[in-house]
Amino acid sequence: MNLSNASKSEIDVILQKCDWRQTKQRVVLLKSIFDGKDKHFSINQMNEILKDNRSYFSLTTLYENLNTLVSKGYLKQITVDKQSFYDTNTTDHIHVFNQEENRIYDYEEYTSIHKDLPIPACLGLLQEYSLVINIKKK
């Protein structure tokens, strides 16, 4: 979904489905999340993006807004090591969590970036499942 150049009526559809009234902060939030690219982010990462866009939320309000988007099916929440990450791709697919980077990747993206890392090839057969692989150096 790409809302970066969305009209007011396109944004209003999402706001109505979430039972939200339109505020400048929520419009910035939706446009920051749904810019047409599949992405993963934590609440702290999104908070920094919003601050860069001069939009300020308390962490509680931001968390509540993200949870509403999850419950309405616009985002997927992934919990790894007691951290929540959000994914704009809501289909079932495999994720890799890199502890050193504190970052989550889609399996295909991770294996293309880290070709030297041996990840079992059978995981490619599991695309219809939601699975997180936690990568950690010994």
Model-level pTM?
Answer: 0.80
Rounded-to-integer distance, Cα 79 and Cα 84, Å: 4
Q: By three-state DSSP, how is residue 44 classified?
A: helix
HSE-CB at 27 with a 13 A cutoff on CA atoms is: 12
Q: Count other C-beta atoms under 10 Å from residue 54's C-beta.
A: 8
pLDDT in tens, 21-60: 999 899 999 999 998 888 999 999 999 999 998 888 899 9
Topology of domain 8-74 in CATH is Arc Repressor Mutant, subunit A (1.10.10)
Rounded-to-integer distance, Cα 52 and Cα 71, Å: 27
Pairwise pLDDT comparison (106 vs 41), residue with the higher score: 41
* Radius of gyration over every alpha carbon of the chain, rounded to an integer in angstroms: 16
| Domain extent listing, the chain | 8-74, 91-135
